[in-house]
């Protein structure tokens, strides 16, 4: 029984830890499909995390914080689009700038707003409440595994098919894919390349904001400097691993989430240095990226 509990616990935290990755991966997917490498995911997510907790506290509601985080992310995405489309900045450089701006900016604001360094834990502020799905959450094992989560976990599950439907069934989605594959061809049929790039990056920013909010107000209410810890890049790796397919990318995110959960668990139960376990999710990224290039070679051969 203890072993089964362990499995349920690790699985539940896998889902919890995969949530921000999934949301950011869907953001990365949108920009992948429109033909832009978005390495600003990380920064946009950090902005979302910061805004959710700070403005959430100011408004006295975690939900308001989530909403404002999504809006902030979308605005950030629009700025990124402005730089890379209208101002023709280099994608990589603009992305890096965005990330450093978010990293430095949030740390700086933390300092001047709350006079703290490193991390900020608001007093008397409730994070998003765990949402038990009535009727289902009481099921043995499955209830705890699937139906007792923070609300944004469920949102991430809905976002996966929504992204797929958007990209493959709607007019703007198909136009985004057309632009990503052949901007010239898209232009000759009257599709606005710039418009689609904006759309993809703004929607992506919105998802990044949600992902950040999950980190800062989803379970606990706190903001830590650089609390995204490279999740934006891990999600990007998942997108490339999946070659832009939503379900596969989500699956890759779950795998990362699993290794992160495993890592937490093993840290507390074993004598091996914790740093070794902390490496595991990142090691997975390297392995997956190798898998991509091997697969590409294989396809060529």
Partner 1 sequence: MTYLSMQGITKYYPGVVANNAVTFEVEQGEIHALVGENGAGKSTLMKILYGLEQPDAGQIAFDGQQVSIPNPYAAIRMGIGMVHQHFQLIPSLTVGENIALGFETRKGLFVDQKTVNERVQALSQQYGLAVDPTQRVADLSVGIRQRVEILKMLYRDARLLILDEPSAVLTPQEVDTLFDVIQNLVQQGCTAIFITHKLREVMAICQRATILRRGEVVGTLKVAETTPTEIARMMVGSDVDTVQLTSESHPGPLQLQLENVSAEDDRRLPVLKGINLSIHGGEIVGLAGVEGNGQHELLEVLIGLRKLRAGTITIGDTNVTAFDGRKRREHGLALIPEDRNHEGLSNDLTIWENMAVTRYYRAPQSQGSVMRIGRLKDAARDLMKRFDVRATSHDTVVGTLSGGNAQKVVIARELADTPRALIAAQPTRGLDIGAARFVHEQLVDLRNQGVGILLISADLDELLAVCDRLVVLFEGRIVGSLRRQDATREQLGLLMAGRTTEQAGVVS
Contact 197, 185 (CB under 8 A): no
User: How many residues make up the chain in this entry?
Assistant: 301
How many CA atoms does the CB half-sphere of 265 hold within 13 Å? 18
Residues 197 and 78: their CA atoms lie apart, in Å, by 10
Task: Please say which residue, 190 or 301, places its beta carbon nearer to partner 1.
Answer: 190
Nearer to partner 1, 37 or 107 (CB): 37
Q: How far is the CB of 38 from partner 1 (least distance, A)?
A: 19
Tell me how far apart the alpha carbons of residues 26 and 163 are, in angstroms, rounded to a whole number.
7
Taking the least distance from each CB to partner 1, the nearer of 178 and 237 is 178
Shortest Å distance, C-beta 164 to partner 1: 13
Distances (CA, A) of 1 to 5, 7, 76, 258, 269: 6, 10, 48, 21, 18
CA distance 87 to 213: 29
Q: CB of 200: closest distance to partner 1 in angstroms?
A: 15
Name which of 149 and 175 has its Cβ closer to partner 1.
175
Q: What is the torsional sign of CA 131, 121, 214, 219?
A: negative
Min dist CB 189 to partner 1, Å, is 3
The CA-to-CA distance between both ends of the chain, in Å, stands at: 49
Asked if 114 contacts 59 with a C-beta cutoff of 8 angstroms, the reply is no
Compare residues 131 and 164 and give the one whose CB is closer to partner 1.
164
We find the least distance from the C-beta atom of residue 186 to partner 1, in angstroms, to be 7
Binding footprint of partner 1 on the chain (CB under 8 A): 169-172, 174-175, 177-178, 181-182, 184-191
Instruction: Between 160 and 176, name the residue whose CB sits nearer to partner 1.
Output: 176
To partner 1, the closest distance from the beta carbon of 242 in angstroms equals 14
Closer CB to partner 1, 159 or 215, in the complex: 159
For residues 54 and 203, which CB has a smaller minimum distance to partner 1 in the complex? 203
Q: b or e along 127-157 (b: 16 or more beta carbons within 10 Å of the residue's beta carbon)?
A: bbeeeeeeeebeeeeebbbbbbbbbbbbbbb
Report in angstroms how near the CB of residue 44 gets to partner 1 at its nearest.
24
Which of helix, strand or coil describes residue 162?
helix
CB 25 within 8 A of CB 250: yes
CB of 185 to partner 1, least distance (A): 4
Q: Please check whether residue 122 is in contact with residue 221, taking contact to mean a CB–CB distance below 8 angstroms.
A: yes
The span from the CA of 164 to the CA of 170, in Å, is: 10
How large is the greatest C-alpha to C-alpha distance in the chain, in angstroms?
A: 63
């Amino acid at each position: 029984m203890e072993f089964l509990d362990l499995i349920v616990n690790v699985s539940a935290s896998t889902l919890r830890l995969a949530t921000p990755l999934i949301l950011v991966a869907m953001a990365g997917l949108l920009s992948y499909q429109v033909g832009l490498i978005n390495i600003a995911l990380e920064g946009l997510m950090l902005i979302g995390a910061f805004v959710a907790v700070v403005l959430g506290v100011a408004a006295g509601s975690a939900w308001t914080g989530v909403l404002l985080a999504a809006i902030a992310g979308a605005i950030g995405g629009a700025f990124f689009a402005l730089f890379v489309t209208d101002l023709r900045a280099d994608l990589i450089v603009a992305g890096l700038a965005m990330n450093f701006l978010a990293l430095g900016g949030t740390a700086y604001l933390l300092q001047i707003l709350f006079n703290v360094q490193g991390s900020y834990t608001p007093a008397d502020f409730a994070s998003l409440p765990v949402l038990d799905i009535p009727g289902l959450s009481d099921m043995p094992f499955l209830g705890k595994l699937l139906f007792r989560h923070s609300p944004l976990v469920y949102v991430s599950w809905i976002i996966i098919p929504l992204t797929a439907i958007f990209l493959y069934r709607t007019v703007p989605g198909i136009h985004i894919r057309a632009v990503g594959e052949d901007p010239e061809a898209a232009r000759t049929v009257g599709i606005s390349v710039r418009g689609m790039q904006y759309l993809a990056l703004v929607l992506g920013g919105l998802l990044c904001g949600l992902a950040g909010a999950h980190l800062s107000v989803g379970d606990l209410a706190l903001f830590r400097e650089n609390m995204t810890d490279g999740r934006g890049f891990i999600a990007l790796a998942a997108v490339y691993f999946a070659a832009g397919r939503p379900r596969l990318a989500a699956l890759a995110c779950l795998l990362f989430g699993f290794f992160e959960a495993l890592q937490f668990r093993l840290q507390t139960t074993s004598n091996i240095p914790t740093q070794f376990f902390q490496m595991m999710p990142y090691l997975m990224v390297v392995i997956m990226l190798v898998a991509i290039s091997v697969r590409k070679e294989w396809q060529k051969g």
